[in-house]
Structure 1
């Protein structure tokens, strides 16, 4: 960051013309009127990412890439691409004498790889992360060359060995991708590790599990409830963040688990499905709704936040949640994650957002804000000596691994005492655990879900190793202290 000249670094923003923006200094964000004009002229949709250069100007060419090439990509894909590109252009600016991405060379990319993966002063990212970043930047430069924005791709290519070449066309792939990052190692957290990370990182407890008077984190209860919901449902970050108050089921007596419907409009690949939620977590969600969420809404009403929203969508009757768009009544369940940000409910107490998860300003939270919550929790755990680290998708993996292990264990126990015909009946009624988890995760194919089997096999091997008899040598005696006869007797045992 060029603080001496007053120039800011590269930044990523997401279009939100219709939302009430927080009042920030002019150095943080271009003026709303100028920015809205640029966004309208370049047909940038609400929720789309765009990059601001070090002089506070939107980069038109990168904006065109998201507007044309990635316009129908899932929000998570667009967000990941935006941050991958930002890290690359920021490196060029700060470490290559303020070089533009249009002038980047293969030497710049080699320097970037060294700094990004092995330099002790750099982040030293894993190879899987590096390979993804290479793919993102490579696709961007392929598009930029096709649209005459650059002449040379700084990512060197080699002939692909895995793709069938088309007639007269040489298939290429990035030569600098490591191809060594393991795709089978699923990072997940056992329940005890998760609770320790949550209590210290999100709730603000000490490493000993006691209340920490020095903790100053806001919305601690909300953050812990959000995290609990994710690890107990397996929802994706974008799916959970887009939930509205209308998706939250009422608490019913006598139940341990309740379910709600996740609409296809906010589910990846339109994978609408039932989501099963433990009543203990559902009770915490309702506590958040009636306490912290209600206080944030009251504060926002007092300062006129909702009146400043441009072109909101209003739900007049919360018993029949629909809005009017261009004269047509549209049910809440058909609104996507960007449209839901604009929905307000008209209540006797005043306007309030339909979104479930609100920030302290009373406005709907965004996936990027939750990423920061997790990063802050990880930093706090690090300061207090807690070794656990977590990110949102890790909780989804944890749900999958733990649920599969429990289902398979129960499945095997039930089948063990049945004959052939009984097993067939049981399979038809209760189905396959793998397919059940596939539906809960919203995977299109069970092939995607099968990656968790590798983790279960590793768990099985770890369990077996723990069961290996500990009689190789007498307890408390080092082999060097035994004579040959004693060693022979120990081996025989």
Structure 2
């Protein structure tokens, strides 16, 4: 019998690229844990949720191992101990919020539910339950102070300062720092502007293909494109980005990106890359792709069904050779993993702090900022710029939806209540006339800044930037 290769053995076990794989501290695999990751219950979760749940579960199982206990014998008391360690133990230097622990609790609950259903875990007769996510008194461990997210925003001025100083190598007086050696300024600035003007999630923006960029239109301020369902959260959707941000991306493609591609070709990086998929044809949203070898069979894939891993494997054959289909590349000329942007943003924030600019930013903050900015802009347009009477406003909103619904559409939320409760909770209870009846009647950025200064400046949730 011909021995199977590692790849063949993985496929026979149902293991796919990116599949979570945990080992015990002694190096032995637990078949029941791995079976959960291969289950339909786990696979039906979104890609990002699967990654998060695997990390959360790894931490809880490691905690049990540190107590010399198997998860099969765990009790409600064990989860209470874990909750104390994660949230309150002074000996833990990395305690988490109630919201973070609630997400970890959801991962544990799903795991234990599934294991109990398949008979891998015995019931706990003392509490009449099979799982330990509730204490012996039957009270939920879900934190009472848990919020779905801790939303923070940047004003346009604060974003511009963070962008120019942190990513662009500028000093506080807007001059260029002589020692700055940022080799990826064009890429980083273009990416930040993309998030700022589109409200895309990090994974959605970080995995865009060059071919998914919208067509330029000199008469439009915002351009429409589409996010594929495999990288969006739940479903594919349209998104809009500023025409200025689109032109900046063109500049990046023609300069920094082209240089990285040329260097990678010279060094043979693309030719040696295993597992790549070469696009040989396209029909609207369908791609014809083949493997590395010219005689590999051609298959058809839908662009919207390509996940982050598939997109990183996708290459185009041009007159000068292969190049990645993904938009954002590292200096190596290979596709950037979208989570790498977290480190880029963190480095930019550290630079700002070092130079006395009190602005910090992470990628999702730009989505938050986009949501609030669009809400204020739309309300401003509906009630002031358009000069609508109350009756006209009612008719207009019946036809097109109110500003909350439009912001929901821009963000890709299934339910407008998500937009209200999560992204814009601190302003959801304010009356519209708090910021529509003021003296500010200028551009939308001015209206936004005026609203923030009067109603949110003391909340600690909005970064106003540094005074000039």
Quote how far apart the aligned CAs of 1:266 are. 3.6
Please give the residue correspondences for 1:51-450 in structure 2 after superposition, counting only pairs within 5 Å: 51=22, 60-68=31-39, 69-91=41-63, 96=66, 109-118=79-88, 119=90, 121-147=92-118, 149-151=120-122, 155-158=132-135, 175-183=140-148, 186-206=151-171, 210-213=175-178, 219-273=184-238, 275-317=239-281, 322-324=287-289, 328-384=299-355, 386-414=357-385, 417-418=388-389, 420=391, 422-427=392-397, 430-450=400-420
Superposition TM-score, scaled by structure 2 size: 0.75
Superposition TM-score, scaled by structure 1 size: 0.72
Contact conserved, 1:314 with 1:343, CA < 8 A, in 2? yes
The CA distance in 1 between the partners of 2:264 and 2:151, in whole Å, is 41
Contact conserved, 2:167 with 2:189, CA < 8 A, in 1? yes
Superposed CA offset, 1:289-331 (max 9, x none): 1122222222222233222334433223579772147655445
The CA distance in 2 between the partners of 1:384 and 1:37, in whole Å, is 53
Contact conserved, 1:48 with 1:78, CA < 8 A, in 2? no
Quote how far apart the aligned CAs of 1:101 are. 5.5
Residue 15 of structure 2: which of 36, 41, 44 is its match?
A: 44
Gaps of 5+ in 1: 1-32, 161-171, 469-493
Superposed CA offset, 1:360-418 (max 9, x none): 22222223322333344444445555544433222212111110111012212256553
Contact conserved, 2:228 with 2:303, CA < 8 A, in 1? no
Query: What is the aligned length?
Result: 420
Q: 1:81 to 1:125 in 2, by over 3 A?
A: same
Q: 1:182 to 1:71 in 2, by over 3 A?
A: closer
For the pair shown, the structure with the greater C-alpha radius of gyration is 1
Superposed CA offset, 1:269-298 (max 9, x none): 22322x221122111111111122222222
Superposed CA offset, 1:231-253 (max 9, x none): 21111222222211111134333
* Map of 2:445 onto structure 1: none
Q: 1:465 to 1:439 in 2, by over 3 A?
A: closer
Q: 1:197 to 1:97 in 2, by over 3 A?
A: farther
